Amino acid sequence: MIMVTGGAGFIGANFVLSWLMSPNAEGIVNLDKLTYAGNLANLETLEKDARHTFVHGDIGDKLLVAQLLEEYRPRAIVNFAAESHVDRSIYGPADFIQTNIVGTFNLLECTREYWGNLLGDEKRQFRFHHVSTDEVYGSLSASDHAFRETNPYEPNSPYSASKAASDHLVRAWFHTYGMPVVTTNCSNNYGPYHFPEKLIPLVILNALDGKPLPVYGDGQQIRDWLYVGDHCSAIREVLANGRLGETYNIGGWNEKANLEVVNTICKILDELKPRADKKSYTEQITFVKDRPGHDRRYAIDASKIEKELGWRPAETFDTGIRKTVEWYLDNPTWVKGVVTGSYRDWLDKQYRN
Ligand code: NAD
Ligand code: DAU
């Protein structure tokens, strides 16, 4: 079996669900702390699937992680567990340091002990896959080439600095201890089960709720959007065939300004769920105060993973965003479950002014 951490969050849950779609898939032990972003409803369809074992716990808990490794003896670990929201890292970086840096350190140390005691093929085949972000490379100007794996690390937010630190730890555990690691640095994901603190699900749900659609600054910041299913297929490919100690950038070749993304969502909603007054949802767009230290542009050059492993995304932005809007319209129960009191408190704190 394999161990997944953070598998009740957005990307982790999509990964677990897509992995187990294959009838011959190895089982998964899924360790997740269930922070505000972890949601067992994402895994509801697996309730009766004996191949999935959920463990409620922290990657920073040494005893627990060591015990799980001994008990389940995974042949690979895929580390999704993290604090992931840039705006929250600006309000309170402590959890980001704790989970993203100290937690990853603990996971690496427990894995080193476990892997060190494996023998023969088990030892040779073992993999530690660290899931990271393009934000570690900092911000691009309009004319810069997209991020390559060789770009220097220049993180600008507490979130990206903590992810950069974790990437460095993973790299060091390869070079110093020979641990069999691979790291992937991915661009902005979107799709089903995305927690609505992030731009795309926030805009979909606010639009349907008749609320303002908050666009930071001038809305011309650029992100490179990737449908979450494509991120999961890339991780499977790197886990199976990636070269040890390497990093692979993953992206959608889909650079879009935020305002364009918001307008596209409004257009799809105008078609699928028109407002009662027949006006466009674009009427709800509201420019708000910019994010401090807001990175202007991210773009991924994903040619290494394509050349070495033959991976390319299957979805375009047009197909992926339509599927995503449809998913939110089709899943009101899931939406109701995540829009809790603590979520409303966050919206109030972040968008009050
Ligand atoms: P998320 O916030 O939706 O989910 C994170 C999950 O990790 C949650 O289920 C949470 O409960 C769990 N978790 C947090 N702290 C933990 C701890 N100490 N121990 C165990 N579990 C813990 O995040 P996501 O968007 O699914 O991102 C997953 C990973 O992918 C992160 O490492 C993130 O940095 C990376 N990433 C995200 C994106 C994106 O666009 N969302 C893009 C590139 C990389
Ligand atoms: O690039 C990969 C990263 O993408 C991941 O590592 C992060 O975990 C993930 O959260 C995401 O980070 P961003 O900060 O780019 O995502 P977010 O959805 O928060 O914001 C996307 C863009 O939209 C960004 O330029 C900020 C802007 N924005 C966001 C929100 C929440 C707005 O204009 N208004 C908003 O209300």
Residues of the chain with pLDDT below 50 are none
Domain residue ranges of the chain, discontinuous segments joined by +: 2-193+227-253+299-316
Written as six digits, the tokens of 174 are 């390869």
Which H helix or E strand runs over 76?
Answer: strand 76-79
Residue 10 is predicted with a pLDDT of 98
The predicted-structure confidence for 130-163, as pLDDT tens digits, reads as follows: 999 999 999 999 999 999 999 999 999 999 999 9
Q: How far is the CA of 13 from the centre of ligand 1 (A)?
A: 10
pTM above 0.85, yes or no: yes
Instruction: Please work out whether the CB of residue 60 comes within 6 Å of at least one atom of ligand 1.
Output: yes
pLDDT computed for residue 234 by the predictor = 98
Q: Is 37 in the pocket of ligand 1 (CB under 6 A)?
A: yes
Report pLDDT for 341.
84
Q: What ligand is nearest to the CA atom of residue 259?
A: 2
Catalytic residue chosen out of the listed positions 32, 58, 83, 134: 134
**Is 113 known to be catalytic?**
no
CATH class of the domain at 2-193+227-253+299-316: alpha beta
C-beta 206 within 6 A of ligand 1:
no
Q: Is 328 a catalytic residue?
A: no
From 135, 230, 255, 315, the catalytic residue = 135
d(CA 324, CA 122): 39
The pLDDT value given to residue 353: 67
pLDDT on residue 352: 85
Tell me how far the alpha carbon of residue 339 lies from the centroid of ligand 1, in angstroms.
18
Ligand 2, atom 16, residue with closest C-alpha: 198
> How much is the pLDDT for 285?
98
Q: Catalytic residue among 114, 159, 190, 298, which?
A: 159
Concatenate the DSSP letters of all residues of 102-153 into one string.
IIHHHHHHHHHHHHHT--HHHHHH-EEEEEEEGGGG----TTSPPB-TTSPP
Residue 159 catalytic? Answer: yes
Q: Tell me the two tokens of residue 296.
A: 């202007």
80 lines ligand 1 (CB under 6 A): yes
